Amino acid sequence: VKESFDLVRFLVVVGQSNVEARNRRMRTPLHYACMYSDPDVVRYLVEQGGANVDAKDGTGRSPLSLCEGYCRHDDCALFLAQRSHVDPDTLKEAWLECYSWTIRLALVKNFASKSLNQPENYISRYLLHVALRAPLPVGEAFLDFIDNSPSHCASMLDPFGQLPLHVALSSRTTTASVGLKLMELEPRSSMVRDPVTGFYPFETAASRIPELMRNDEEEDDESHHNLLELV
């Protein structure tokens, strides 16, 4: 491994090799480093060589995607996830391709910081609120965050006075099952007015039932009726 790192450094520094060169598969050296090498080589190519962490190969796969698909090295993948440009397609891939929970978490934090401009202290303290504002691809993704969060998080008020239920019902990407889960964890939340919108949860839910149904076509009508009954 050390020999590989020394060779890469020699080629970049002495040989002036192009770290963005592509082969017939449209893959860069960083793609292959993520598939077969170690975090030191990946880190060197990015930090010293200036390699593009968002480069897509001929099949549309990024270095992070190959890292998760081949070596499953969390240190390497985490380094890339913290530096990648994260958009809804990136988050969709993270769930559909079964990325590790550590990497999914890092991508959501990255999106919240760079795209939603949320400060680090807010992200670390109110991670469930943060996740509910992210454009996650499916209802199960939001439920993953709820299941992986301490139960008391459903009762936490953020600096704006909002509970996770308020955020979930106002989000354009969450589903009815997410609201149900949050109310099961904290039943009193259904009686708390959202200070940002001025509405009670039942008012927000009633106005958004058609949209909640469109967000998750696989949910049956019972889930949506139960949401209204609970609030």
pLDDT at 70 over 60: yes
Q: 227 lies in a domain?
A: no
Whether residue 145 sits in one domain with residue 74:
no
What pTM was computed for the model? 0.86
Whether residue 215 sits in one domain with residue 178:
yes
Q: 198 lies in a domain?
A: yes
Whether residue 149 sits in one domain with residue 71:
no
Report the pLDDT value the prediction gives residue 175, as an integer from 0 to 100: 80
3-state secondary structure 38-60: CHHHHHHHHHCCCCCCCCCCCCC
pLDDT range class, residue 174, cuts 50, 70, 90: confident
Cα–Cα distance measured from residue 9 to residue 164, given in angstroms and rounded to the nearest whole number: 48
Q: 131 lies in a domain?
A: yes
Q: 66 lies in a domain?
A: yes
Per-residue tokens: 218: 């696989």
Whether residue 7 sits in one domain with residue 66:
yes
Q: 226 lies in a domain?
A: no
Q: Looking at residue 36, which CATH number applies to its domain?
A: 1.25.40.20
Report the pLDDT value the prediction gives residue 58, as an integer from 0 to 100: 95
8-31 residue pLDDT tens: 888 888 878 899 999 999 999 999
User: Cβ-count burial of 172 within 10 angstroms (0-12 exposed, 13-18 middle, 19+ buried)?
Assistant: exposed
* pLDDT average, residue stretch 147-158: 94
pLDDT range class, residue 47, cuts 50, 70, 90: very high
* pLDDT average, residue stretch 37-58: 91
**Structural domains of the chain, count:** 2
Cα–Cα distance measured from residue 78 to residue 154, given in angstroms and rounded to the nearest whole number: 27
pLDDT range class, residue 220, cuts 50, 70, 90: low
Whether residue 176 sits in one domain with residue 94:
no
* pLDDT average, residue stretch 137-159: 92
Taking the CA of residue 100 as centre, how many other CA atoms within 13 Å lie in the half-sphere pointing to its CB?
Answer: 17
Q: 106 lies in a domain?
A: no
Whether residue 82 sits in one domain with residue 3:
yes
Report the pLDDT value the prediction gives residue 107, as an integer from 0 to 100: 97
Cα–Cα distance measured from residue 159 to residue 75, given in angstroms and rounded to the nearest whole number: 33
Whether residue 92 sits in one domain with residue 37:
yes
Q: Looking at residue 139, which CATH number applies to its domain?
A: 1.25.40
Report the pLDDT value the prediction gives residue 56, as an integer from 0 to 100: 95
Whether residue 69 sits in one domain with residue 153:
no
Cα–Cα distance measured from residue 75 to residue 80, given in angstroms and rounded to the nearest whole number: 9
Q: 230 lies in a domain?
A: no
Whether residue 76 sits in one domain with residue 10:
yes
Q: Which domain holds residue 67?
A: 1-98
Whether residue 12 sits in one domain with residue 92:
yes
pLDDT at 81 over 90: yes
Report the pLDDT value the prediction gives residue 85, as an integer from 0 to 100: 96
Q: 12 lies in a domain?
A: yes
